[in-house]
Amino acid sequence: MKKTVIINRAVPGSGKTTITKCILKALEEKNISSAIHSTDEYFMENGKYVFDVKKLKDFHDQNLVEFNASLDKKVNVVICDNTNLLPWQSEPYTNLARKYDYQIIFISLDPRDLEKHVLAQQVTIEKPDAHSVSREVLKEMIFEYHLFDSLLDKNSPIDSEKHFHYYWDDEICKKISTGKLAKHFDSDFVIRILPTEYKDFQRTIGQKVLALLKDKK
């Protein structure tokens, strides 16, 4: 079996948590070790999501440290459950995957209509842990998802007018363009999930991932 890193790529409210649970269930049934690492978990307080942009860099750094520890322990499947909309966001994780000789699977969930994402983010009695991401932020994230989506294909051209590389400026709590061009996402396999296919993928994603874990050597 090929040791594998899974990188989730999705706008909040796309259903990646449910898809991830389906994958974990399939792995558990085969006694395949797994670990999941999400920066969002560090913002959880007493079952509620309390976001603080000033803590974002530190929490991302801590998530990366824990992700690295799972690779170092040779966990069979290690999942990065962040949004990973732009290549620079997933690059630290994929670089570590290559360092430890893990193959990389991207699971990219195409966004739904904006209003459905807004509704999914509302805190309710049934969803006290919803993230309350604003309409404006969700709209921007959907735009960025589509803007960089072509870079999942390594043969797709990088557009010098729109595909830029960024870094996070911790002082102003904002991403800043480096002026350099973005890179392609680093992957061995890409599984794309369209909104119309979402329910079907809940049943099949586990088997699809298991098939990609088989070492063909």
Query: What tokens were used for 66?
Result: 């824990």
Residue 216 forms part of a structural domain: no
Contacts 24+ apart (CB under 8 A), 61-68: 63/37, 63/38, 63/39, 64/92, 64/93, 64/96, 66/37, 67/37, 67/93, 67/96, 68/96
Percent of the chain with pLDDT over 90: 82
pLDDT in tens, 154-192: 999 999 999 999 999 989 999 999 999 999 999 999 999
pLDDT in tens, 16-62: 989 999 999 999 999 999 999 999 998 888 888 888 889 999 999 99
Residue 19 forms part of a structural domain: yes
What is the predicted pLDDT for the residue at 183? Answer: 97
What is the predicted pLDDT for the residue at 153? Answer: 97
What is the predicted pLDDT for the residue at 56? Answer: 92
pLDDT in tens, 107-122: 999 999 999 999 988 8
Strands 164-169 and 48-49, by their bridges, are unpaired
- Residue 36, domain extent: 4-211
Q: Pick the residue with more confidence: 183 or 217?
A: 183
Residue 79 forms part of a structural domain: yes
Q: What is the CATH number of the domain that holds 195?
A: 3.40.50.300
Q: What is the pTM of this model?
A: 0.95
Residue 125 forms part of a structural domain: yes
* Alpha helical stretches, state H, the chain: 16-29, 56-72, 87-99, 114-120, 135-147, 198-213
Residue 46 forms part of a structural domain: yes
Residue 136 forms part of a structural domain: yes
d(CA 2, CA 129): 34
Domain count, the chain: 1
